[in-house]
Amino acid sequence: MQLEFDPGDILDPGAPGALDGRGAPAPPQRLSPSGASTFEQCPRRWRFRYVERLPEPPGVEALVGTFAHRVLELLMQRDPSHRSQAEAKRIARATWPELAGGEDYRDLELSDDEAKAFRWRAWHAIEGLWHLEDPAAVEVEATEEQMSVTLGNVPFRGVVDRLEREDDSLVVSDYKSGRAPTARYAPARLQQVLLYAAAVAEETGEQPVRAQLLYLGQRIVATSVTPDEIGDAIGQLESTWSAIAAACDADEFEARPGPLCGYCAYVEHCPEGQAENLRRAQQRADEDEYLMRLAG
């Protein structure tokens, strides 16, 4: 399990983190899907990341996603006749030094074998696009399209991985290198691309007909873009925006302990998270002891 990370969602410099005249945190200038998701998962983690600006190393999973996104972005900018796996390999070789020379990758301190495994994992994510579609058949309208609009009463920002034409209609697509969700969790994951669809409609005047998540090498999770779907997504965004404003005004950011505490970069700063990890570790130890007694 990994905490969600969107490689295209880069924090606006100077947006969150400001203090108001009372010394309390000020709400961000704009809210992204990643920022909203972080607050919904755990307001305490949101404060650590967006107010205190504590570093959050992305880790292997996130960097694999970052590299795959970059290669696919460049590939889909090519003429359709050049969108082959051979071309993707050429792009990957050309852009690899950009990632490998970065601080985040160096901080992983991978051994030679681990570095080789990382490169293979990244390539499998990239070639996973061909398991979902024929890239040469996609009519690309834009890639890495930055959106900055107001949705409902929320100043919103985001980066659309891919905007395409299908039967003369717009489709919003977002690449994902993580594990595809079960049917139970798919609607929550689709909130991001529904907000992107709303932003595209707000900025261009044309509403996309479909929003989809391309889980590389696995499957496509998609939804039709309807007024009800858009309304629900914006309503949830407005609710989160109001909750962030209230938390900033009171300077109270509750911790929401759970399984993700084991993957949180800020757990050393969070007593509730540490207690949750200890509780789960003890639970696992008790279960192992019980199984050993049964086996003995």
Its pTM stands at 0.88
Taking Cα atoms as reference points, which of 169, 243, 237, 166 lies closest to residue 200? 169
Domain assignments of the chain as residue spans, ordered by start: 59-131, 138-239, 255-296
Contacts of 248 (CB under 8 A, 6+ apart): 20, 24, 25, 26, 27
Half-sphere exposure of 217 (CA within 13 A, CB side): 13
Sign, Cα dihedral of 87, 88, 93, 94: positive
Determine the number of helices (DSSP H) and then strands (DSSP E) in the chain. 9, 5
CATH number of 138-239, picked from 3.90.320.10, 3.30.200.20, 3.40.50.300, 3.40.640.10: 3.90.320.10
Residue-by-residue pLDDT tens, the chain, 296 positions? 344 445 444 434 334 455 555 567 888 899 999 999 999 999 999 999 999 999 888 889 999 999 999 999 999 999 999 999 999 999 999 999 999 999 999 999 999 999 999 999 999 999 999 999 999 999 999 999 999 999 999 999 999 999 999 999 999 999 999 999 999 999 999 999 999 999 999 999 999 999 999 999 999 999 999 999 999 999 999 999 999 999 999 999 999 999 999 989 999 999 999 999 999 999 998 888 888 888 86
Hey, how many other C-beta atoms are within 10 angstroms of the C-beta on 279?
Answer: 12
92 CB-side CA count, 13 A: 24
Give pLDDT, residue 4.
46
φ, ψ of residue 140 in degrees (nearest 5): -75, 130
pLDDT of residue 252: 95
